[in-house]
């Protein structure tokens, strides 16, 4: 029986090599498509990264943060939800501080029966609030409550009957807040000796610079 040449290739071996080469060619042709599909899957945003809220164990919400792993739809959703969550409604207007009763005052968080009565009594003592800053003079009124009063009440001074400083009697001047009886007598004496007050500067020199009163007092007066 003759020996086979070392370079002899049988028909079955040639067929196998051809199938192998054909398979490699086909794989080479479809390789870009396979690679594209596989990378496209991994480029999709992960659900928890595309969300503002991160959940930790126990079902509790974690911190919120904007991440670059989001598509346009999720970005719009986060943007709108962020606006909804951060917008605060404006406080309700409760009316004029000069006509508010204790019931209306108690609608302010931090004001109870005692504090509401103090505000009303102090307003009665003054005769009228002419500046919201006068509320700071109410005994034991917290700063936080004062801020809420300023934001939820308005100030109307149209009903205030101002005192005519040049013609007012002692009894009329006694209705002026921040003045003692001795100070009223001294004002009357100054008016008698110097004559009428002619300008607002005259009143400023008398009440603020000389008597060291708060500027609010001038709002109760007229020339």
Q: Is the pLDDT of residue 67 over 90?
A: no
| 22 within domain boundaries | no
Of 92, 120, 152, the domain-final residue: 152
| 129 within domain boundaries | yes
The predicted structure's pLDDT at residue 82: 47
Q: Is the pLDDT of residue 144 over 70?
A: yes
- Write the burial class of residue 122 (CB in 10 Å: 0-12 exposed, 13-18 middle, 19+ buried): middle
Tell me: do 127 and 177 sit in the same domain.
Answer: no
Q: What is the pTM of this model?
A: 0.58
Q: Is the pLDDT of residue 204 over 50?
A: yes
| 143 within domain boundaries | yes
| 54 within domain boundaries | no
Of 125, 152, 179, the domain-final residue: 152
Helix, strand and coil percent figures for the chain, each rounded to 5:
55, 5, 40
Tell me: do 114 and 148 sit in the same domain.
Answer: yes
Which tokens sit at 55? 């959940």
The predicted structure's pLDDT at residue 149: 95
Tell me: do 169 and 209 sit in the same domain.
Answer: yes
Q: 223, 222, 208, 220: which is closest to 127 by C-alpha?
A: 220
Distances (CA, A) of 215 to 33, 72, 88, 187: 83, 58, 35, 17
Of 112, 128, 152, the domain-final residue: 152
Q: What is the pLDDT of residues 84-133, one digit of tens each?
A: 445 566 678 889 999 999 999 999 999 999 999 999 999 999 999 999 99
Tell me: do 145 and 195 sit in the same domain.
Answer: no
pLDDT more than 90, % of the chain: 55
- Number of domains the chain is built from: 2
| 144 within domain boundaries | yes
Q: Is the pLDDT of residue 71 over 70?
A: no
Tell me: do 147 and 170 sit in the same domain.
Answer: no
| 16 within domain boundaries | no
The predicted structure's pLDDT at residue 53: 44
Tell me: do 147 and 171 sit in the same domain.
Answer: no
pLDDT class of 50 with cuts at 50, 70, 90? very low
For residue 216, the enclosing domain spans 163-222
Tell me: do 139 and 174 sit in the same domain.
Answer: no
| 190 within domain boundaries | yes
Say how many C-beta atoms besides its own lie within 10 A of residue 149's C-beta: 22
| 40 within domain boundaries | no
Tell me: do 139 and 114 sit in the same domain.
Answer: yes
Rg of the chain taking only CA atoms, in angstroms? 43
């Amino acid at each position: 029986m003759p020996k086979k040449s070392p370079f002899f290739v049988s028909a079955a071996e040639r067929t196998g090599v051809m199938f192998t080469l054909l398979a490699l060619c086909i794989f080479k042709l479809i390789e870009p498509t396979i690679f594209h599909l596989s990378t496209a899957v991994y480029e999709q945003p992960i659900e928890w990264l595309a969300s503002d809220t991160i959940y930790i164990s126990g079902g509790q919400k974690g911190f919120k943060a904007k991440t670059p792993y989001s598509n346009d739809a999720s970005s719009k959703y986060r943007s709108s939800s962020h606006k909804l969550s951060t917008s605060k409604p404006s406080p309700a207007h409760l009316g004029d501080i000069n006509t508010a009763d204790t019931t209306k005052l108690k609608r302010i968080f931090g004001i109870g029966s005692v504090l509401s009565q103090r505000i009303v009594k102090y307003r009665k003592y003054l005769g009228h609030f002419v500046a919201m800053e006068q509320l700071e003079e109410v005994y034991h009124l917290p700063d936080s409550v004062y801020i809420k009063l300023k934001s939820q009440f308005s100030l109307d001074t149209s009903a205030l009957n101002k005192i005519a400083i040049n013609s007012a009697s002692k009894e009329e001047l006694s209705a002026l807040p921040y003045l003692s009886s001795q100070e009223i007598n001294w004002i009357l004496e100054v008016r008698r000796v110097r004559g009428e007050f002619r300008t607002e500067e005259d009143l400023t020199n008398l009440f603020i610079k000389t008597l060291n009163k708060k500027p609010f007092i001038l709002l109760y007066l007229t020339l």
